[in-house]
Structure 1
């Protein structure tokens, strides 16, 4: 009886992670929920296939099915998308930073009537905002514009203390470009291979 309750709790925990993070790869679920070996993780995920859908993106990527959304009361409907890599990159940062309890996805930052920007994620650590941006297929001009808006928001006092900007991108070349654009800001830029 206790074994069944433990499995049901693990199922709920995985589904709640998918509710919060939208898409997760098999290895990300394995890491977040201590599923052991690859074989054990695949076996567990197969056992909950009525609650999740999956597709291949290097490895299986999971998202909530209708039944899964109902079980964890999720209103957000996700479908297979080419943008899933963007979510997986963001989730790699979530895991790398220790799954912060203050983590929120798609946060609007604004000064009334002046400028508004939606960051990919935000979390607070020791009273300091950490702003997450993922550069997967974005044009550099869009990134540059976003960085300039962050400078303006900082100057207008939106943040109590200067935030830490954390970027994830795809190549070393793009990392160098982003670091140059972020000069004067407290910024770190990772490439996806830093987390493989």
Structure 2
């Protein structure tokens, strides 16, 4: 994304930024701004180690893969009052089509099934001008197959985390 050419270069830059960063391990080092880093860039929001880090990284993989769309919005509510409501992990527009992003990290498949049914209901109720494209990112090939089966009839694209390594 930043054309750093190599992992070694990226690690060198992160080493130079050490006074401004904290990190933890979750399969890889995950870096975030510490107090000094936030002050340096005038950031107001405090971000720290969270169990949702992997979820955010998976969502960000989709954001980067789709070219960092300017219309991207995280955690967006879609609803028809008193009928159906769903909160997507992210939404963005591309070629006049709404793209709905869903992250399946530690979710039970029954929860995913429920979410897919709520999207079907929104489509039935005419919430979208055109049928939306639902983009999933999941952890395994088995889960990709299960999601593919759940999403029959929808415009869907399903990735695994390995698609981005």
Displacement of 1:49 after TM fit?
2.7
For the aligned residue pairs, the C-alpha RMSD in angstroms reads: 1.6
Q: Of the candidates 34, 39, 43, which is equivalent to residue 73 of structure 1?
A: 43
d(CA) in 2 for partners of 1:64 and 1:133?
26
Structure 1 79/183 Cα, relative in aligned 2: closer, same or farther at 3 Å?
Answer: same
Higher alpha-carbon deviation: 32-41 or 166-175: 32-41
Q: Which consecutive unaligned segments of at least 5 residues does structure 2 have?
A: none
Q: CA deviation at 1:46?
A: 2.0
Distance 1:156 1:62 in 2: 43
Summarize deviations over 1:74-124 as a string: whole Å, max 9, x none: 43x322123211111111111111111111111111122332211111110
**Are 1:123 and 2:123 counterparts?**
no
SS in 2 for 1:183: coil
Q: For this pair of structures, how many residues does the alignment match?
A: 164
What whole-Å deviation, never above 9, does each CA across 1:50-70 have from its counterpart, x for those lacking one? 333211222211123233344
Question: Which sections of structure 1, spanning at least 5 residues, go unmatched?
Answer: 1-31
Q: Which residue of 1 aligns with 2:77?
A: 108
How many angstroms does 1:34 deviate by?
2.0
- In the alignment, the residues of structure 1 paired with residue 83 and residue 20 of structure 2 have an alpha-carbon distance, to the nearest angstrom, of 43
Matched, 1:93 2:62: yes
SS at 1:109 equivalent: strand
With over 3 angstroms needed to count, the CA separation of the structure-2 counterparts of 1:172 and 1:152, relative to structure 1, is same
TM-score (normalised: structure 1): 0.77
Q: Residue 53 of structure 1 aligns with which residue?
A: 22
Structure 1 position 164 matched with structure 2 position 133: yes
> Do the aligned partners of residues 38 and 145 (structure 1) sit closer, same or farther apart at CA in structure 2, a change above 3 Å counting?
same
CA distance in 1, matches of 2:33, 2:128: 35
Where does 1:1-196 land on structure 2 (aligned, <5 Å)? 32-70=1-39, 71-75=41-45, 77-196=46-165
1:9 counterpart residue number: none
